[in-house]
Amino acid sequence: MNITPKFLINRELSALEFNQRVLAQALDPAVPLLERLRFLCISSSNLDEFFEIRVAGIKQLIDSGSVQWSSDGLTPLEQLEAIHARATRLVAEQYACLNDVLFPALLAAGIKLLRRGSIGDEDRRWLERYFVSEIEPVVTPLALDPARPFPRIQNKSLNFIVQLHGEDAFGREATLAIIQAPRSLPRVVPLPTDENGMQGFVLLSTIVEEFVPRLFEGMQVLGCHQFRLTRNSDLFVDEEEADDLRDALEGELAHRRYGAAVRLETAVDCPSEIVDFLLRQFGVGAHDLYRVPTPVNLHRLSALVDLANSSSLKYPPFVPAIPRRFAAGSDFFEAIRQGDVLLHHPFQAFTPVVDFLRQAAADPHVLAIKQTLYRTGTDSAIVDALVAAAQAGKDVTVVVELRARFDEEANIELSDRLQEAGAHVMYGVVGFKTHAKMLMVARREPDGIRRYCHLGTGNYHSRTARAYTDYGLFTCAADIGQDVHEIFLQLTSLTRTPKLSTLLQSPFELQRAMIQRLDREAAHASAGRPARVILKMNSLVERESIDALCRASQAGVQVDLIVRGVCALRPGVPGISDNVRVRSIVGRFLEHSRVFHFHNDGDSETFCSSADWMERNFFRRVEVAFPIREPRQRARILAELDTYLRDDTQAWALDADGGYQRVTAPSTAADAVRVCAQRQSLEAYTAGNPLDE
């Protein structure tokens, strides 16, 4: 059975709907005020990346003359038109949220953002001194004339176009100039606290606009207008032709700031003739233009969240739990030999992963360490431990994915560190990103060499482990250790595809294995046996998997999907997906774990994975799904999934029309206890959950 396009949801529009759910957090009075501002900034940053990658890709299809239809039957041009209409509404709601809701609430809470037209004399004197000492020495106005053409504008940079009247020092008539705000300058500037204890802030853009005449002495400034350009930021490297992937990527990184233009944002008061001039300069059209209230870059306001000295307006801090077996001073090897240990971040700490590596680096019985790294951050304790292990004489092999989008430069730098320490650094397989999260330590013990493994759904990144929900499994099971060993051999040498006994791997068998399990559930349902599927992931778009989910639904399988972001499956369509329910959880932590559960007539299977159900994850990446075999741990995951399915605080339900509706408690149960999956997990783990190992 192939689902026809009318029963599918457009991937790009679904991504914009996810951003709408993020924005809803900024409008939710139950969320602390500064966190609401942070959510607004996240929605702006998400939209930037959407244009840099997704819209840029569609524009490339149009430029190439492609008539390739999307899964829901839209041409590239039709998609661009639909995106522009939906994104325009989203942007308007972002600015309404900022100006009509958040700014007044911040002012009432004692946090003031100075805006043009409301700057008092004392503040103006302070701002002028700041402009003269901090901004004027590093800014360079660029007049436009035949000898000074329009400058190259960097991706997402803050710029001003200035309208002028008069002659310069050489008697030349000047009409336009460009000011590019140096990236070294802070975009949010704290003001001295006033006598009432009010915290004041001002945007760099406000200061520049207020004192721009000082940059053009002897001339009349007729107008100063912010604009911002978004460019194609996807990197293209022909891996088949590149002699050295690292060198090829380094060369491409320099061009990312100046890729093809895909979006122009201008201040709403920018005159039409100036807007038209900018459109011509960048070669973009009306569907690429977004005229917005200032500031043109909402994401920069995230600095205010960190600068504001108001802890009561933020989420309360928490201390992630440490499993009992990993208490301070524990022997990690002994703890893992007692049985598998399952970590659930951020409710449980990521530090055991780092400490395990540190102990392995110092242990004289450890012979080798192998690890995949996709994203780790620029200052990584994981990399420090691997460096220490290599320097201690261990055989350290690291598969670094250089093509992790927007982390390429950081990954090149950490590759250099590891190589200098004596580690073997590999860049994976040509044509396939290595997205699997695997760590293996080979240790000599009295009964032979034992492999200790860590497999996860998230990156080896200490900072995101405090903000993303992910599972990580420690095990020394021989069959899993052998499978991990085989996959590392495959990644670093020229061996043939290994036959794995326990793990499921992309691009070879993961998709087929998932479809087989869905069809098995359908067979159970058709035979009158209990059948149920619960899948949790970030994105669901792969067509064959969607077909299999609909087959299962039609056979009577109850299918529950917890899909954070993009979902192309339209649930609840009569005769197609009647038994499919889709919900999205958007809250304090970014939902990132992937879990696949199949009831299997009582002999259930539960897998955690690094893979979403997308074509790229199934067929163009190295991914791993690993089983949760310990009954207590499987019960723990299922209990947590059940809480997600009962959440009536941060959950959104996808309907058959492709829209999302917020899930709320029944109106007949005013005194009912609200369910918030993330809060309940946080409270349970920090209180010492009995399921904690």
Pairwise CA distance, residues 148 & 252, whole Å? 27
Catalytic option among 84, 225, 435, 597: 435
Output Rg (C-alpha) for the chain, integer angstroms.
27
Q: Which of 11, 135, 159 is nearest to 71 (CA)?
A: 11
Strands 590-591 and 580-585, by their bridges, are: unpaired
Would you put residue 112 in left (φ > 0), alpha (ψ -120 to 50) or beta?
beta
- The question of whether 435 is a catalytic residue gets the answer yes
Which residue in the block uniquely carries the two structure tokens 């409270």?
Answer: 683
Q: At what angle do helices 631-646 and 677-686 cross, to 10 degrees?
A: 140
CA distances, 280 to each of 66, 360, 371 (Å): 24, 59, 49
Pairwise CA distance, residues 387 & 420, whole Å? 9
**For residues 663 and 675, is the Cβ–Cβ distance under 8 A?**
no
Q: Which of 362, 364, 350 is nearest to 386 (CA)?
A: 362
Tokens of 500: 């794995």
Pairwise CA distance, residues 403 & 124, whole Å? 47
**For residues 585 and 591, is the Cβ–Cβ distance under 8 A?**
yes
Tell me the torsion sign for CA atoms 508, 511, 516, 520: positive
Q: How many CB atoms lie within 10 A of CB 385?
A: 23
**For residues 399 and 373, is the Cβ–Cβ distance under 8 A?**
yes
Pairwise CA distance, residues 206 & 212, whole Å? 10
Contact partners, residue 670, CB within 8 Å, separation at least 6:
none
Pairwise CA distance, residues 583 & 645, whole Å? 8
**For residues 456 and 644, is the Cβ–Cβ distance under 8 A?**
no
Strands 532-537 and 594-598, by their bridges, are: antiparallel
Cα–Cα–Cα angle for 417, 422, 424, rounded to 5 degrees? 90
Contact partners, residue 611, CB within 8 Å, separation at least 6:
435, 506, 510, 537, 594, 617, 618, 621, 623, 624, 625
Pairwise CA distance, residues 191 & 356, whole Å? 45
**For residues 547 and 577, is the Cβ–Cβ distance under 8 A?**
no
Pairwise CA distance, residues 481 & 487, whole Å? 10
Tokens of 584: 């999205």
Q: If residue 85 lies in a helix (H) or strand (E), which one and from where to where? A: helix 76-96
Tell me the torsion sign for CA atoms 162, 163, 165, 168: positive
Tokens of 382: 């994981």
CA distances, 212 to each of 152, 175, 301 (Å): 21, 15, 22
Which residue in the block uniquely carries the two structure tokens 């670094």?
Answer: 400
Q: Environment class of residue 290 by beta-carbon count within 10 Å: exposed (0-12), middle (13-18) or buried (19+)?
A: buried
Pairwise CA distance, residues 359 & 622, whole Å? 28
Pairwise CA distance, residues 313 & 10, whole Å? 37
Helix, strand, or coil here: 299? helix
Residues with a catalytic annotation lie at: 435
